[in-house]
């Protein structure tokens, strides 16, 4: 049966825990497309449906609504149909199930719709789940841009009920399991490189996304040998945040700027915001705190410019 659906802020992907460390190599766009469609699956359903979206809703969800044509959507769907996931077989602990995510995707320019038919082999991992499943809010998925950050989100959310109840939890991850799950068997062979390129970047983005938790990564060592990583996840609430310190009397503030300085300040601030778009909240728990840091950085740069100009005048 075909269902006409629309993305909603309350949508969430509900999947068996085995999917969280399943082996696949989806790009971030492909992972978001999968999440968008699978968030419409209800665990109480007896079967998958064919899920039909308006193409502009898909574009809006993926922040691609400014693109005038939908060629990118066709390209991503073609690539997605070739992607295979290897997930542990529920009937055999030593076995695997290999499956695509979608059997077919139908695009209709006339009606402006795109419909997804899900792979039947994946039904045991999304339907009639009685326990050991993970709930991943769709808005959280859409706020991330890195493929490894998206994978770590699945893992963190697996433990979310415990994190919320206790306020924190440490998740131990095997390096071998991560290499297999992330399709990185032959890449980043040095543990330090794996941590820097995969783990640290993903953790930075998770912390930047204002998702209600903060992650700190630690290399899990046995003697001198690294066997994996430990993610220390703590629940973060806005009332726990420290206020931004008020400027002292001798500090340069926006209010003290004359019209010429104000124009230069606005230019510097715009440049800082553009350069920081990749991880817009990196290191800051809320947009307000990020904005305060950007303003402080622009004022610092303005102060440097004023010193240079003063030296030139005195020369």
- pLDDT tens-digit readout, 86-110: 998 878 878 899 999 999 999 998 9
Which pLDDT value is given to residue 307?
66
The residue extents of the domains of the chain are 1-141, 143-236, 239-314
Widest Cα–Cα separation across the chain: 81
Rounded Cα–Cα distance for residues 258 and 261 (Å)? 5
Give the pLDDT confidence score for residue 64 in this predicted structure. 87
Instruction: Output the pLDDT for position 272.
Output: 75
227-236 per-position pLDDT tens digit: 999 999 999 8
Per-residue pLDDT at 223 exceeds 90: no
**143-236 shares the fold of 1-141:** yes
CA distances (Å), 153 to each of 160, 180, 223, in order? 10, 17, 29
User: Does the CA dihedral 180-183-187-193 come out positive or negative?
Assistant: negative
Least confident interval from 34-38, 53-57, 193-197, 300-304: 300-304
Residues ≥6 apart with Cβ < 8 Å to 115:
2, 50, 51, 52, 53, 105, 106, 107, 108
Nearest to 151 by CA among 205, 221, 91: 205
pTM, two decimal places: 0.75
Cβ proximity of 127 and 118 under 8 Å: no
Write a three-state SS string for 86-120.
EEECCCCCCCEEEEECEEEEEEECCCCEEEEEECH
- Three-class secondary structure of residue 61 per DSSP: helix
Say whether pLDDT at 159 is over 50: yes
251 contacts: CB under 8 Å, gap ≥ 6: none
pLDDT recorded at residue 265: 82
Q: What rounded mean pLDDT belongs to the chain? A: 86
Residue 204, C-beta contacts closer than 8 angstroms, at least 6 positions apart: 279, 282, 283
pLDDT greater at residue 165 or residue 270 = 165
Q: What is the pLDDT of residue 252?
A: 62
More confident residue, 245 or 67: 67
pLDDT band at 277 (very low <50, low <70, confident <90, very high): very low
Task: Domain 1-141: give its CATH code.
Answer: 1.10.10.10
Q: How far apart are CA 38 and CA 217, in angstroms?
A: 29
Q: Answer whether residue 33 shows pLDDT above 90.
A: yes
Fold of 143-236: Arc Repressor Mutant, subunit A (1.10.10)
pLDDT the model gives residue 273? 73
At residue 244, the pLDDT reads 46
């Amino acid at each position: 049966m075909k269902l006409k659906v629309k993305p909603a802020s309350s949508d969430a992907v509900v999947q068996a825990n085995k999917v969280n460390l399943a082996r696949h190599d989806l790009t971030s766009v492909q992972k978001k497309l999968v999440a968008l469609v699978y968030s419409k699956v209800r665990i109480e359903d007896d079967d998958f449906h064919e899920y039909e979206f308006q193409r502009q809703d898909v574009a809006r969800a993926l922040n691609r609504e400014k693109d005038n044509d939908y060629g990118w959507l066709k390209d991503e769907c073609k690539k997605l149909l070739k992607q295979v996931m290897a997930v542990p077989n529920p009937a055999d602990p030593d076995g695997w199930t290999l499956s695509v995510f979608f059997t077919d995707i139908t695009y209709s320019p006339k009606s402006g719709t795109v419909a997804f038919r899900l792979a039947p082999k994946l039904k045991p991992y999304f339907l009639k789940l009685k326990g050991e499943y993970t709930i991943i809010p769709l808005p959280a998925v859409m706020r991330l841009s890195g493929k490894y950050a998206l994978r770590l989100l699945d893992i963190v959310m697996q433990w979310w009920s415990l994190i919320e109840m206790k306020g924190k939890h440490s998740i131990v991850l095997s390096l071998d399991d991560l290499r297999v799950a992330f399709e990185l068997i032959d890449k980043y062979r040095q543990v330090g490189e794996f941590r820097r390129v995969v783990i640290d970047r993903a953790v930075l983005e998770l912390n930047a996304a204002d998702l209600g938790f903060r992650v700190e990564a630690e290399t899990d060592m046995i003697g001198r040998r690294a066997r994996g990583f430990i993610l220390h996840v703590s629940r973060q609430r806005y009332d726990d945040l420290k206020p931004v310190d008020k400027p002292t009397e001798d500090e340069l503030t926006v209010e003290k700027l004359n019209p010429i300085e104000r124009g230069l300040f606005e230019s510097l601030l715009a440049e800082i915001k553009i350069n920081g778009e990749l991880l817009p909240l990196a290191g800051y728990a809320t947009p307000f705190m990020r904005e305060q840091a950007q303003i402080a950085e622009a004022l610092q740069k303005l102060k440097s410019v004023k010193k240079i100009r003063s030296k030139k005048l005195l020369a």
